[in-house]
Amino acid sequence: MAFWLASERRRQQSDWIQRFDPRFWTVNFPRPMMASVVTTAHDAMRLDLDFYHEGELAGLIWDSEDTLDHPLLAYETRKDYAHCILRFRWKSSGLVALDQPHGPTLTIEGRDASGTPRSWYVRLWNYAEGTPTEASIELPFSKLQSGYTLPGEAIHAGDIDRMFISLAPVGYVEGSSNRLPARRSGWAELTGISCEGEVAMLEIGDVMIPAHGEQMATAYDDAFNQTPARLLRQVEQLGYRGRIVHYVGMSHYYRLEDNMTRVRYGGELCEPARKWHADFFARAVDMGFAPIASLSYELLAQDCPDWWQQRDWNWNYGRTGWDPPSALLSPLSVPAMQFLRSIAAQFVTVMEDAGAEVLFQIGEPWWWIQPDTGAPCIFDYSARQFWGSDIVAITDMRAPMNDAQKALLDRAGQALSDSTDALAQAVRDAATGAAEVMLLAFTPTVLDPQMPELYRANLPVGWAYPAFDRLQLEDYDWLIQGADALRRQALEFVDERLGYPTASQDYLAGFVLDPDDAHTFWPRIDRALDEARERGVEHRFVWALPQVSRDGYTRLPTYEEDEVSPFDDVTYPLSLGTNASASPEFSTSVAVTASGHERRNALWSDARMRYDVGPGVRSQSELRVLLGFFRARFGPARGFRLRDPHDFSSNGGAGEPTAGDEIIGHGDGLSADFQLRRNYGEQRRPITRPEEGSILVSIDGVPASGWTHVGKGLIRFDAPPPAGAEIRAGFRFDVPVRFAEDRLDISGATFAAGEAPSVPLVEIREAS
């Protein structure tokens, strides 16, 4: 399907928003405190905050440059706030009041008139009318002054990068790391937000991509600082519909103990996360989406009790590579699993209160494998107690396994399956109506070919259909590497082991961690979505929105008529002989300078062939065949095959093909697909219409087996050729062509006089 990586908006649809639109504010803060912001009206927003330490401080931020939205949907960058007035009504509770030291302060970051970077601190109480917890505030930027009292230092409003309002808890002590006596919660509401004066409105991208059939995945850990309204605007306007997989994350949703930085044992949502998700789910439903709440077995390591965590044989904790790292909860830890079941039940309640149907994903439950040693983390305290006399050391999953080790892995798989069964049941029990429970598996890890027995523990038979309503698969490590053979083998293995029908399977494609890889990885992700659709997978998700927005990934719809191939796989019915003309054609831009020198630019990487097959028509009967063939192709509307009499073989153009004729690629140990091609020096010509039965393939000069021609000249090996191997092929081939004109002019008189008709054909560029 067509897609585009948009770097900026270029004449696409735009609209206008009021500057300081509440949808586009963000919130930030140090951990372990927690905060969220939601919009409550077109001109209002609310913040909820949980504080644990005396020195914790949150900021409500307005950025002059929109770095979070998709380039086609972002608001314009305007750093000049001169003669601009911001007004709103302030109301708060549990926070330092407006009239107190460390009360809400507007910090402005930018440059002064000389261009020197500066920050100014504008005390809101100096511009307020009302009480310390409920007041009307007016901020005329050209008259603002920094300082605790007025008069103060005038700010320079002409070059502002960002500004933020600070929010501190009652009992705030600047710079202190001491814990508060107990968690303190606060909230603030900004209503009646308005802006007037110069540049009171901002231009904003307002494209509306037609629905393209794909669905979106988001994550709270990536979006906790934004409003749900902002996120869902992007999802809808980029053409995504249907379901949204929303991963609730591993670090921001839970409440901590009052007296220590550790999750509450029983499992409790923190109020900022609860308010944010209530708004997200309700808005999603109102917009016609069906959100899926996704919960994993990961927790931020610094907040996770030690005895809940998975460990390897040498007692090392399982740790992900994120910074800061997350820990993996042991499926055999009773309190850890109770925590997850409690959290799941609370999310079910939030979803139902928002009017959403209960759709729940158990995300990537697994026994962690240490990346550096290959050690499985199946030996935490609870696990060791559970294994009892069956316990046996496994320190490297890449090593051969004996029967006792395989048996232990099978038991680990059963324990994992039992834990997910219990979590799924907790979701169903919490729902007042029907609940649909899905399981997400990450095949590059659970089916790592270097660890051939790992599936026993991480893809247990207890997950077999119909244990879950839907099975969701993702394979992005292999996908972005181009390891298509491993992806296909994994799908076959999962189908055989778990038995979910295609109608009960979903697919998640993604993701691009490093923006420098965008132009390499997004085409692969886009093709994977198409492949899943061709397999009959109904629900396909792009993982995830932050990368889509950052890289400008824009999926475009394909209409049914676009998918009908305008090609008839038939051969031109007449023999051409040697009188037919063949003309390779390039497109070259030639610019002649004033001095007579030339600058040449080749616009095509491959020649396009043109033919005139008229001289090959030798009789009235062949003329009738030609006319019938022309009509059957609807003139130039439909393509067909043509055997070029001068170049139809990989062996010198006309010789008998051999397996060593043409280099078609080199192995990298991952790629299994290789396109047939003819090589003319540096020019490579993709061959999309080889003659079936004529193809021969070799690897490093040895005739190869274990490959298939899957169509369009694509050779697919059952297993990827080894890295550095030279792949060659021999074949005969036809050229895909069409008639060049809508009309075929043939005169019986001139034909009888021996004059050949002109029947021009032109080569078709086919996607390989």
DSSP string for 307-336:
GGB-B-TT-PBPB-SSSS-EEEB-TT-HHH
**Whole-number pLDDT of residue 680:** 93
Contact 57, 167 (CB under 8 A): yes
User: What are the φ/ψ torsions at residue 716 (nearest 5 degrees)?
Assistant: -120, 120
CATH tag, 215-561: 3.20.20.80
| Sheet strands (E) in 198-339 | 201-205, 215-219, 243-247, 290-296, 298-300, 326-328
For domain 9-205, the CATH class is mainly beta
Q: How far apart are CA 39 and CA 232, in angstroms?
A: 12
Question: Does residue 718 come out as left (phi exceeding 0), alpha (psi in the -120 to 50 range) or beta?
Answer: alpha
DSSP state of 733: B
* 151 prior amide bond cis, ω within 30: yes
CA distance 510 to 528: 9
* CA distance to 41, 424, 444, 491, per residue, from 486 (Å): 49, 30, 8, 9
For 287, left (φ over 0), alpha (ψ -120 to 50), or beta?
alpha
| Amino acid identity for residue 676 in this structure | L
For CATH 2.60.120, the residue range(s) in the chain are 9-205
**Start-end ranges of CATH 3.20.20.80 in the chain?**
215-561
Tokens standing for 175? Answer: 């710079």
What span, in angstroms and rounded, lies between the C-alpha atoms of 592 and 119? 55
What's the whole-model pTM score? Answer: 0.90
Q: CA geometry: angle at 98 spanning 95 and 103, to 5°?
A: 60
Q: Splitting the chain (768 residues) into consecutive groups of 10 residues, what average pLDDT does each group show?
A: 90 96 98 97 98 97 98 98 98 98 98 97 98 98 96 97 98 96 96 96 97 97 98 98 98 93 94 98 98 98 97 97 94 98 98 98 97 97 95 98 98 98 98 98 97 98 98 96 94 98 97 95 96 96 97 87 71 81 89 85 87 85 91 95 94 96 95 95 93 97 96 94 96 96 78 71 87
Contact status, residue 427 vs residue 360, Cβ threshold 8 Å? yes
Peptide bond into 32 cis (omega under 30): yes
For 193, the token pair is 């937000």
- Report how far Cα 6 is from the mean position of its chain's Cα atoms: 15
Long-range contact set of residues 113-118: C-beta below 8 Å, sequence gap at least 24 = 113/156, 113/158, 115/159, 118/156
- Measured CA to CA, the distance from residue 694 to residue 677 in angstroms comes to 14
- Coil vs helix vs strand at 743: coil
Place of tokens 């070799």: 698
Buried b (16+ CB within 10 A) or exposed e, 371-402: eeebbbbbbbbbbeebbeeebbebebbeeebe
CB atoms within 10 A of CB 731: 28
